[in-house]
Amino acid sequence: MKNLPRYSICVGLGSAVLALLLSCSSDAPLLCIPSSHESYEDYVAKTTEFVSQNRRFSSEDRQTELKYNSPYEVKPEHPNGRGILLIHGLGDSPWTFRDIANRLAKEGYLVRVVLLPGHGTKPQDMIGVSSESWEKLIAEQMALLKKDVPQVWIGGFSTGGNLAYEYANKDESVRGVVLFSPAVELKSSLIKLAPLVNKFVTWLLSPDEKTGGVLPFRYTTVPMDAIVSFKHTMDAADDILSKARYDKPSIVMLSEHDSIVDTKSLIDRFDKQLTSPESVIIWYGNQPEKSFSNKVVSKPDYIPKERIQSFAHMSLTYSPDNEWYGRQGKYRFCRNSMSEEDYNKCMTDKEIWYGAWGAKHGNKISARLTFNPYFDWQMQKILDTLEAGAIKPDAYGIIEIVEPVEKSSK
């Protein structure tokens, strides 16, 4: 995307951060993407066409930008009979999983990434969107995936992690879950007010005139309807995590200094509720003071040789080699609380430090970390966990999958 300018996401803390992280109705400004599809190819074709016609493009390279914001699949050269559906976060795009999808496909997995309704076009198109429409899409796409591969997994980032965990706990055929920064519990209690606030205002932070709230990979704001829908996913995942244990091999990745998610609470909760000894919880930060099970593995998030002081909410899914978000990436995320002089330094300084949103390194200017320096190690942990959840062929090379039989009404 040679004509894309270098961007900085400039969003304040507090209510603006809440707005970022967090069934069409008659109030929706556009017609809905068709909600039923005969195949994954049909879904991709119709959704891509919808995005093409309704997106507010942020660059001259529309074809590349369209690819970033449309659903896609990565087919393995040597299929292993396994597949995984991946779900992006609120205001994000399928681009979130490009690095992960390519690596999983190299190991034989059929990888599919969905576009949640209301995303990919412009923030106004999330007015009228509900969590039920997201759940319906996921159920449909999981059903289609199961037609093409005998073994399936599901995963997601942030809001997508909430949706993935909820679905996996309802579908016994899912072999396990892969969760990146799941937003099951937030640091801010303001989210509780979202349904009430939604009765009076449409936006906490309206789209700016210059960009329309759209950047190549994501929105910079979302309407209150979307925040309320996010809350529904959070409440559903929180309820399941509080009441039910999950016994399939699963992996959860959390950052101690996540500025949005209450990861210190979640590490404890997931450690108790993920009962499979093959499950893994990766903790990026200081060694946890509390004693956890062997499932918890930690890596330091302070890496001075790379000028990294902490990990951000979004950094876990991207490779250091990512062309936009990697070590030499074309993007740099700077805070809008800086003076104009500091902002310009943040965007141009070759010795910039990186960290979670709002992080500071003494008096030095810091940008938001957008990649995971442990990406290759993390991918191996993910692959090991998926392998642990796989059904192995018997002596004749046959994998038997038994569907539940409905009870007789007699």
**Rounded distance, CA 163 to CA 180, Å?**
12
| Residue 1 clears pLDDT 50, i.e. is over it | no
The pLDDT assigned to 273 comes to 97
Mean pLDDT of the chain: 87
Q: Which residue from 332, 261, 226, 360 is spatially nearest to 10, judged by alpha carbons?
A: 332
Distance of CA 269 to the CA centre of its chain: 20
Assigned token pair, 149: 């591969």
Which run of H or E residues covers position 178? strand 174-180
Token output for 40: 């994954």
If one compares 179 and 34, the residue with the highest pLDDT of the two is: 179
Tokens of 189: 């209690």
User: How many C-beta atoms lie closer than 10 Å to residue 303's C-beta?
Assistant: 16
β-bridge partners, 179: 156, 252
Residue 361 burial (C-beta neighbours within 10 Å; 0-12, 13-18, 19+): middle
Find where tokens 């209450």 sit: 262
d(CA 229, CA 93): 17
373-392 residue pLDDT tens: 999 999 999 999 999 999 98
Whether the pLDDT of residue 205 is over 50: the answer is yes
**How do residues 53-71 score in pLDDT, each as one tens digit?**
999 999 888 998 999 999 9
Percent of the chain with pLDDT over 90: 71
Tokens at 266, concatenated: 């979640």
The full length of the chain comes to 410
Position 136 scores a pLDDT of: 96
147 pLDDT more than 60: yes
| Mean pLDDT, residues 101-129 taken together | 97
What pLDDT, on the 0 to 100 scale, is given for residue 80?
Answer: 96
Q: What is the pLDDT of residue 333?
A: 84
Question: What is the pLDDT at residue 207?
Answer: 92
The structure tokens listed for 275 are 């009962």
Helix (H) or strand (E) holding 383: helix 375-389
Nearest partner of 326 among 334, 318, 314, judged by Cα: 318
pLDDT in tens, 19-39: 444 434 334 444 455 567 889
Q: Picking from 10-14, 130-134, 252-256, which range would have the lowest pLDDT averaged per residue?
A: 10-14
Q: Which of 197-201, 326-330, 352-356, 357-361 has the lowest mean pLDDT?
A: 357-361
Identify the CATH homologous superfamily for domain 23-244.
Alpha/Beta hydrolase fold, catalytic domain (3.40.50.1820)
pLDDT at 393 over 80: no
pLDDT at position 34, please?
Answer: 57
* pLDDT at residue number 336: 56
Give me the half-sphere count of Cα atoms (radius 13 Å) on the Cβ side of residue 272. Answer: 9
More confident residue, 255 or 356: 255
DSSP string, 278-307: T-EEEEESSPPSS---TTEEEE-S-BGGGT
Kindly give, in sequence order, each residue whose CB lies less than 8 Å from that of residue 27, ignoring residues fewer than 6 positions away: 127, 128
Record the tokens describing residue 252, joined without a space: 């959860």
Region 397-401: what's the mean pLDDT? 52
Contacts of 41 (CB under 8 A, 6+ apart): none
Query: What are the boundaries of each domain within the chain?
Result: 23-244
Neighbour-count burial of 288, counting CB atoms closer than 10 A to its CB (0-12 exposed, 13-18 middle, 19+ buried): middle
- Give the β-pairing of 280-284 and 174-180: unpaired
The pLDDT of residue 360 is 66
Q: Residue 24 in contact with residue 32, Cβ under 8 Å?
A: yes
CA distance 325 to 217: 11
For residue 397, name the pLDDT band (cuts at 50, 70, 90).
Answer: low
